[in-house]
Amino acid sequence: MGKFINISVIGAAGKMGQQIMSQAQVSDKFNIVGAIETKDSSFLNTDISSLIGGKETGILITDDPLSCILKSDAVIDFSSPSSTIEVCELVAQARKVHVIGTTGFDEEEEEKIKAAARHATIIKSGNMSLGVNALLETVKKLARSLDNDWDIEISDMHHRDKIDSPSGTALELASAAAEGRGIDLHSSLDISRNGSDLSRKNGDIGIVSLRGGTVIGDHSVIFAGEGERIVVSHFAENRNIFVKGALKSAEWGIDKGPGLFSALDVLGIQK
């Protein structure tokens, strides 16, 4: 690796992909060498300037991730679960850094990511911002200090176009609460309250997901006790907080060696 860190962006035409390329383009640390989109994308074979503006760069958007991975030090991926799984297997073969901001994986896909991390440096987080990762630790500590008589509810609000629910951030907040309480997340998670006879079970962690407008990401965790509540929240006002975290993760992962890491590792927040 020379002066610059060579990166490729998976999901280049998405909101996050465009902002990552825009910030990397003007950075003195990163050099964009690849931009990947799906085979049916209308942007294929066009210069990335068609997405981020400015002069033509000579970097054409492609549906061939392997060619981009091979000339990259790191790939930054905000795409779809199926695309991410395909890419992480290629990144593992190439022994490169893979920053994953994609959410909505099922258990089988999560296992594939863990397997790929035996060969690649994978930094995976449902939310790359410093504030959210600080919130995760706050939630964990609160859950540890309060008993099961305090109900835990998570509010998860995103823009109308977000396709997964609950969001990766909401699930990470639920995981932090479960870890704080020393319980299994899957047996205590309640995300499907519909119908009747839905009395709350003691110790459940509930999530309600709201989708609408252009909301970037609002998350609140409510600890509801007898006669009192504690509410901790994070509101994302722009996507730059996620972009900065993703680029910082790519830089952090260089020469780190194989393993599955999170934004907590990158930010140096004590787990």
What single DSSP character describes residue 70? H
Domain identity same for 110 and 176: no
Domain identity same for 97 and 230: no
Residue 206: closest CA among 265, 156, 262: 156
Domain identity same for 108 and 202: no
CATH number of residue 137's parent domain:
3.30.360.10
Cis peptide before 166 (omega within 30 of 0): yes
Pure H helices in 26-150: 49-52, 65-70, 81-94, 107-116, 130-145
List the single range of 6-15, 196-205, 225-234, 257-266 with lowest mean pLDDT.
196-205
Q: Which residues are catalytic?
A: 158, 162
Residue 260 has φ and ψ, to the nearest 5°, of -105, 115
pTM of the model: 0.79
Domain identity same for 134 and 91: no
CATH number of residue 261's parent domain:
3.40.50.720
Domain identity same for 9 and 82: yes
What single DSSP character describes residue 152? E
Domain identity same for 119 and 143: no
Domain identity same for 177 and 206: yes
pLDDT digit string (tens) for 177-219?
A: 999 999 988 888 887 766 666 778 888 899 999 999 999 999 9
Domain count, the chain: 2
Domain identity same for 50 and 99: yes
CA distance linking residue 191 with residue 206, whole number of Å: 6
Which strand (E) or helix (H) includes residue 172? helix 168-181
Domain identity same for 164 and 197: yes
pLDDT digit string (tens) for 109-168?
A: 999 999 999 999 999 998 888 889 889 999 999 999 999 999 999 999 999 999 889 998
Domain identity same for 146 and 160: yes
Our measurement of the distance from residue 62's CA atom to the centroid of its chain's CA atoms, rounded to an integer in Å, reads 23
Domain identity same for 50 and 16: yes
C-alpha angle 108-110-112 in degrees, rounded to nearest 5? 75
CA distance linking residue 50 with residue 56, whole number of Å: 8
Which residues form the domain of 54? 5-124+239-267
